[in-house]
Amino acid sequence: MSRFLFVPSVARGNGSGHLVRCLTLARELSDLPGSSAAVFLDEDPGPGSRGAREIEAAFPERVRGLSLVRSRAAAETGTWAFVVLDLRNASREEELAWRALAPTVALDEGGPAALGASFRIDALPRTGREALLGDANLESRGFLHLPGRRRDSPPDRFGNILLAFGGEDPRGLGPATARALVAGGFFRPESLTLLTGPLGDASRRVPRGVRIAGPVPDLKETLASWDLVFTQFGLTAFEAAWAGCAVILVDPGRYHARLSRSAGFPAAGIGRPEPRALARLLSDPAALAASTAAAAPKCAESLAGRLAALRPGASGSCPVCGARERAVLERYPRKSYFRCAGCGMVYRELFEGGDTPYVESYFFEEYRRQYGRTYLEDFPALTAFAAGRLEILERLLPREAGGRRPVILDVGCAYGAFLAEAARRGWDARGLDIAPSAAAYVRDTLGLPARAGDFLDPGTRSDLGGPVDCLSMWFVIEHFEDLARALRAAADLVRPGGIFAFSTPSGGGISARSDPGRFFDRSPDDHATVWEPRRAAGILGPFGFRVERIRVTGHHPERFPGALGKPGAARMAGAASRLFGLGDTFECYARRVRDSERED
């Protein structure tokens, strides 16, 4: 069961939209199979914020039956799949503190917390300044809680008008708008209804004759009965537009005004309506209704359903050093990529799908799709790759006197091309692969010791014997979700002076440098880390390995911008790729040092 903890903004002056959304989502998620939810409402939130008792008194129906977490200490004792932050403008420190409990999902986050959150969802448009925070994983106006009831047709005149400025209205926009509409002669007082929210101040002066209505439990389902809605930028604006009303915004400040323009809503001013803007907007009801409709969401989507579909399991921290400080690189609907602020490793967090073990089809149908032939048909080419790698290993590991054959364990041995060449050259070659059919082929057809299993399983490693002179992982290391555990296991298995050799896609190659968005998007979902040649030594050092050689491979001149179609350009691009190490893959050969030589 996936447990969600919702953390809404309860700061005075931030309105009630964030709080109401969290309460609604928590209830919806709790009703979905396989999910449960709680809402964090601190009993002692500190100055400037509303506490649990005040919120329960203001929203008794919305809170009733929900699981509430009433202190940070209580939150820390829970087990959560995700912490959902609806804080509007949170700091890095706030997001880091919550990510210590579970991966974070940030809803419409406009502050620095957006840079570290595991997953981001934007249901509201952003200003240009917020665009500097990068893209969200998902963005859709349809994720708002839109009303089910809608008007049959847009209004052609404005007979009844609603003024709804949220559950708090700290700037008094509702009364100010009522006064401007009556004083300017735009509407008779009796045609106006001013809605007061559960957290608002009902004592502000309004013109005589304006109807004052108390809090409405489910306001969005009543909006279709109004011709025109005055409100500020926020959830009510989108709900009223979806319901088919005409909408005019009066915003509390320049920030909200920028958001209004970004969304395309008709707006009449900041702080209070401007008479000339009102006159222009109200002169053509059909045009006002049309411009409102253009700002409305295009379709309704279930945000609760999308949250429930998120795959739990991400740690929210670096898989190498465990640091939580990080910078986001790219976001996609299925995954996010970060660079660790501690060790510099690039890693991804996956939120849809899961790890698929390599089964027999990978070496046949899938391999053919990628390379035009099956793994076994590609055996001669793979043997040639193996020979080059073994030549490097043999220079790094001279044969010992007495003729003892050096032991090499190839993790992810597949159908044994590397092992066969190693055995031919005199190595004691052993294999491990997660696919039983591959390990069986190595044993039964090639006659070499191999077994199927998970390298991270201590029992599997003990069955393989050890220590070994060389441990190899050709395009395997990027698959480990817990890379630190894999590197510790490698250090335990390789004897001091032995070699740990691996190959992996390069985050420093031409594809990653020239178009990082496309590079990360196309990176297979089961690649948990993206290595870069220049950072390998720093990452491996604390685990007891000293890099002896980096060999950049996978040179593709055709991937250089402008290299195709120009005489000599591809040749020059190929030379530059080799000179500057811009290949899209690389091999690393690292020596296991003695414990006394290890880097801390």
Question: For residue 353, what are the CA distances in angstroms to 198, 309, 310, 316, 532?
Answer: 42, 9, 9, 17, 26
User: Both 404 and 487 in a single domain?
Assistant: yes
**Residue 589 belongs to a domain:** yes
Q: Among the three residues 262, 295, 328, which one is the final residue of a domain in this structure?
A: 295
The H or E element containing residue 550 is strand 545-553
Last residue of a domain, one of 261, 295, 329: 295
Q: Are residues 114 and 209 in the same domain?
A: no
Q: Per-residue pLDDT tens for 187-207?
A: 999 999 999 877 766 567 899
Check residue 588 and give its pLDDT.
Answer: 98
Q: Are 581 and 562 in contact (CB under 8 A)?
A: no
Cβ atoms within 10 A of the Cβ of 170, count?
15
Distance of CA 60 to the CA centre of its chain: 34
Q: 205, 175, 169: which is closest to 192 by C-alpha?
A: 175
**CATH code at position 534:** 3.40.50.150
Task: Indicate the pairing of strand 468-474 with strand 407-411.
Answer: parallel
Q: To 5 degrees, how large is the angle CA 426–CA 432–CA 435?
A: 135
- Residue labelled with tokens 């030379």: 575
* Lowest-confidence region among 15-19, 71-75, 179-183, 518-522: 15-19
Verify that 442 and 542 share a domain, yes or no: yes
Domain match, 129 and 12 both: yes
- Within-domain flag for 380: yes
* DSSP run (H or E) holding 73: helix 72-77
Query: Mean of the per-residue pLDDT values for the chain?
Result: 91
Q: Which of 105-109, 358-362, 548-552 has the lowest mean pLDDT?
A: 358-362
Are 584 and 469 found together in one domain?
A: yes
Q: Do 168 and 204 fall within a single domain?
A: yes
Is 108 in contact with 25 (CB distance < 8 Å)? Answer: no
Measure the CA–CA gap between 565 and 570, rounded to whole angstroms. Answer: 8
Condensed to tens digits (0 to 9), the pLDDT of residues 263-304 reads: 999 999 999 999 999 999 999 999 999 999 999 999 999 999
Which residue has better confidence, 375 or 550? 550
Q: Are residues 409 and 449 in the same domain?
A: yes
| Burial of 152 per CB tally in 10 Å (0-12, 13-18, 19+) | exposed
Summarize the confidence of residues 8-19 as an average pLDDT. Answer: 90
Residues 6+ apart with CB under 8 A from 378: 367, 371
- Unique residue bearing structure tokens 């945000």: 303
**Count of domains in the chain?**
3
* Residue 14, phi then psi, degrees to nearest 5: -90, 5
Same domain, 80 and 193: no
C-alpha–C-alpha distance, residues 228 and 159, integer Å: 8
Do 590 and 545 have their domain in common?
Answer: yes
**Helices 275-282 and 285-295, interaxial angle, to 10°?**
100
Q: What is the mean pLDDT of residues 480-506?
A: 97
Same domain, 380 and 256: no
**pLDDT tens digits, 208-246:** 999 998 888 788 999 999 999 999 998 899 999 999 999
Q: How confident is the model at residue 448 (pLDDT cuts 50, 70, 90)?
A: very high
DSSP secondary-structure letter at 49? B
Termini Cα distance of the chain: 39
Residue 239 belongs to what domain range? 161-295
**What is the predicted pLDDT for the residue at 208?**
93
Lowest mean pLDDT among 60-64, 115-119, 460-464: 460-464
Cis peptide before 467 (omega within 30 of 0): yes
Residue 267 and residue 135 share a domain: no
Query: In Å, what is the CA distance from 96 to each residue of 17, 156, 242?
Result: 24, 51, 36
Q: Is 469 helix (H, G, I), strand (E, B) or coil?
A: strand
Residue 69 DSSP SS3? strand
pLDDT one-digit tens code per residue, 568-599:
777 887 888 888 888 999 999 999 998 766 65
Q: Is the pLDDT of residue 361 over 70?
A: no
Q: What's the mean pLDDT in 552-564?
A: 82
- What ranges in 355-433 are assigned the alpha helix state H? 365-371, 379-396, 417-424
CATH number at residue 38: 3.40.50
Q: Which residues of 115-137 are buried (b: 16+ CB within 10 A; e: fewer)?
A: bbbbbbbbbbbbbeebeebeebb
Q: How confident is the model at residue 323 (pLDDT cuts 50, 70, 90)?
A: very high
DSSP label at 560? Answer: S
Mean pLDDT, range 513-523, rounded to an integer: 95
In a domain, 386, yes or no: yes
CA distance 431 to 468: 12
CA atoms within 13 A on the CB side of 325: 5
Of 398 and 346, the one with more pLDDT: 346
Helices (H), 121-230: 128-131, 173-183
Query: What are residue 460's phi and psi, to 5 degrees?
Result: -65, -45
- What the block records as the tokens of 280 is 């222009």
pLDDT the model gives residue 600: 54
Q: What is the pLDDT of residues 251-267, one digit of tens each?
A: 999 988 998 998 999 99
**pLDDT reading at 169 higher than 90:** no
Spatial distance between the Cα atoms of 543 and 126, rounded to a whole number of angstroms: 43
Q: What is the mean pLDDT of residues 96-100?
A: 97
